[in-house]
């Protein structure tokens, strides 16, 4: 196991002191920022996430703020999802594509005002893409990365913990909606969202100086709820079919290949970059698509794409995999050609440790 060499370039977060005090054991790098990956062990963290409540430093979901008269126009340029019906206080999961329809991010957009939006990004420099478009089109919009760092509260006891710090009104926040809540005099957006299927919230912590006070307040308030520092869990997110940009889809894939066709209203998303390419894809349908795949046997560490074989023919690749304690099988996400993507298809996955038997499923586990 190699260590991660830290430097200023791999940015610390407003919560890094708390993360270290909680005994973080592993990191990944996400948007050039440290993102914890394991505290006690991945399996221990997994069981705890499903039974209690965790505080996650997901500052690496950086915000891109669009503000100004052309903000809404620029937002619609970014995504094939039709944003016209989006209301203030709503969160939208939006695929972002380049001019060829290739995915370059899959963020969550927040509509703060008619002329003010946040994009809570996955792992690619959306700031540069959005600024490049704004500059090229001479749009009247300010694009920047504000000092806002999401902190996720995830797990079945998330509502109880949040109510103790922000008041009972947080219980009324609907899924993929956000409201404004006070913490020690600062107003923060709190959304019912997060990168797990265990329920919970994301607090958009405004101002680095508010990071550790909030972290500590949540830890203190949740002692009897068995609150613990956590992070997106590599097993749970696969069970839940939560895709990871850069792992399960890249610029090589359209949203339709990623199974995100339902978020593409390409006909009506007038002005969106990549529209011509996606109209073609929507008409013909993808020739490969993301599928849940169960794998039998010992699952190695998935640090690269594993070929999926039908006999001697490559028909796809596994991009994320883990052993699931709760389901007693290897759980995986893969991209499979249409000739072999039907439920129940038996295939072979070529891992660095040798071949394993695999089955295409219809639905993810959670």
Q: Applying CB under 8 A, which residues contact a copy of itself?
A: 1-10, 12, 24-29, 32, 37-38, 98-99, 104, 123-126, 128-137, 234, 244-247, 273, 301-305, 319-320
Nearer to a copy of itself, 37 or 294 (CB): 37
Kindly state the tokens that stand for 4: 């991660």
Nearer to a copy of itself, 12 or 337 (CB): 12
DSSP label of 31? T
Nearer to a copy of itself, 133 or 279 (CB): 133
**Residue 86 CB, nearest distance to a copy of itself (Å)?**
23
Report whether 308 contacts 348 (CB < 8 A): yes
**Residue 256 CB, nearest distance to a copy of itself (Å)?**
21
According to DSSP, the β-strands at 148-154 and 108-113 are unpaired
**Residue 3 CB, nearest distance to a copy of itself (Å)?**
5
**Residue 95 CB, nearest distance to a copy of itself (Å)?**
15
CA 212 – CA 215 distance, rounded (Å) = 5
DSSP-derived 3-state class of residue 351 = strand
330: closest CA among 351, 311, 312?
Answer: 351
Nearer to a copy of itself, 170 or 242 (CB): 242
Nearer to a copy of itself, 218 or 302 (CB): 302
**Residue 143 CB, nearest distance to a copy of itself (Å)?**
10
**Residue 297 CB, nearest distance to a copy of itself (Å)?**
20
Report whether 84 contacts 75 (CB < 8 A): no
17: closest CA among 231, 213, 218, 223?
Answer: 213
**Residue 8 CB, nearest distance to a copy of itself (Å)?**
5
CA 231 – CA 140 distance, rounded (Å) = 38
What is 141-172 written as a DSSP string? -EEE--SEEEEEEESTTHHHHHHHHH-GGGGG
Nearer to a copy of itself, 18 or 222 (CB): 18
DSSP label of 94? -
**Residue 226 CB, nearest distance to a copy of itself (Å)?**
24
Kindly state the tokens that stand for 47: 């069981």
Nearer to a copy of itself, 144 or 220 (CB): 144
Kindly state the tokens that stand for 270: 């007038």
DSSP-derived 3-state class of residue 332 = strand
Nearer to a copy of itself, 294 or 317 (CB): 317
196: closest CA among 235, 164, 236?
Answer: 236
**Residue 32 CB, nearest distance to a copy of itself (Å)?**
6
Nearer to a copy of itself, 7 or 312 (CB): 7
Q: List all residues 6 or more positions away from 109 whose beta carbon is below 8 Å from its beta carbon.
A: 75, 79, 83, 86, 91, 92, 94, 117, 118, 119, 120
Nearer to a copy of itself, 182 or 276 (CB): 276
CA 148 – CA 140 distance, rounded (Å) = 23
**Residue 70 CB, nearest distance to a copy of itself (Å)?**
13
CA 61 – CA 235 distance, rounded (Å) = 20
77: closest CA among 139, 27, 22, 20?
Answer: 139
């Amino acid at each position: 196991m190699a260590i991660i060499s830290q430097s200023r370039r791999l940015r610390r977060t407003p919560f890094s002191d708390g993360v270290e005090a909680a005994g973080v054991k592993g990191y990944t790098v996400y948007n050039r920022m440290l993102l914890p990956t394991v505290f006690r062990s991945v399996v221990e963290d997994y069981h705890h996430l499903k039974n209690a409540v965790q505080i996650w430093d997901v500052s690496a979901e950086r915000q891109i703020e669009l503000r100004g008269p052309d903000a809404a126009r620029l937002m619609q340029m970014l995504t094939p999802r039709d944003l016209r019906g989006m209301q203030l206080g709503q969160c939208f999961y939006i695929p972002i594509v380049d001019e060829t329809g290739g995915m370059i991010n899959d963020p969550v957009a927040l509509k703060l005002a008619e002329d003010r939006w946040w994009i809570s990004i996955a792992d690619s420099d959306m700031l540069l893409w959005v600024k490049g478009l704004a500059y090229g089109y001479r749009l009247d919009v300010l694009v920047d990365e504000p000092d806002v760092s999401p902190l996720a509260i995830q797990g079945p006891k998330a509502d109880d913990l949040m109510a103790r710090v922000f008041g009972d009104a947080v219980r009324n926040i609907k899924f993929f909606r956000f409201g404004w809540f006070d913490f020690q005099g600062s107003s923060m957006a709190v959304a019912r969202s997060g990168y797990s299927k265990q329920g919970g919230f994301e607090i958009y912590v405004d101002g680095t100086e508010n990071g550790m006070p909030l972290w500590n307040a949540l830890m203190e308030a949740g002692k009897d709820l068995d609150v613990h520092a956590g992070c997106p869990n590599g097993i749970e997110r696969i069970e839940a079919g939560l895709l990871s940009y850069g792992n399960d889809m890249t610029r090589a894939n359209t949203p339709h290949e990623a199974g995100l066709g339902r978020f593409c209203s390409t006909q009506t998303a007038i002005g969106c970059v990549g529209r011509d390419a996606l109209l073609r894809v929507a008409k013909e349908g993808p020739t490969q698509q993301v599928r849940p795949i169960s794998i039998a046997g010992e699952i190695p560490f998935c640090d690269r794409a594993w070929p999926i074989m039908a006999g001697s023919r490559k028909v796809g690749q596994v991009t994320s995999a883990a052993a699931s304690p709760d389901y007693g099988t290897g759980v995986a996400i893969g991209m499979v050609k249409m000739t072999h993507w039907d439920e129940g298809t038996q295939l072979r996955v070529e891992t660095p440790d040798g071949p394993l038997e695999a089955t295409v499923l219809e639905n993810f586990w959670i």
